[in-house]
Amino acid sequence: MPVRAVIVAAAAAFVISLFGTPMAIRFFTALKAGQPIRSLGLASNEGKKGTPAMGGVVFIVATLCAYVTGHVALTTLPEAR
C-alpha cells in the first residue's frame, strides 16, 4: 500500500529537516558562506551580516533522502491486510 511509504517519507523528511538545519547553519557559518550586505542598504540589515545563505539546501537533501526512504519502505514493508 503506497500510503505507508508516503507517511514514512514525510516523517523522514521532517526529521532530516529538523535536525539537519542547525547542522547546516553551523557548517555554512564555518565556510563563511554568509549573506553579503550592501553598504547602501538600510541600517537594520547590518544584523543580517554573516547569516548563512543556505538557499534550501537542507530541504532539497531532506526531500531526496525521503524519496529513497519511501521507496525502500515501499519495497521492503509487507502489505497490509
Q: 12 near 65, Cβ under 8 Å?
A: yes
What pLDDT, on a 0 to 100 scale, did the predictor assign at position 38? 66
Query: CA 77 → CA 13, 57, 67, 72, 74, distances in Å?
Result: 19, 29, 15, 8, 6
Looking at the DSSP bridge assignments, the partners of residue 34 are 52
In whole angstroms, give the CA distance from residue 67 to residue 76: 14
What pLDDT, on a 0 to 100 scale, did the predictor assign at position 19? 92
**Tens-place pLDDT, residues 21-72:** 889 888 888 887 776 666 666 666 666 666 777 778 888 999 999 999 888 8
- pLDDT of residue 73 exceeding 90, the answer is no
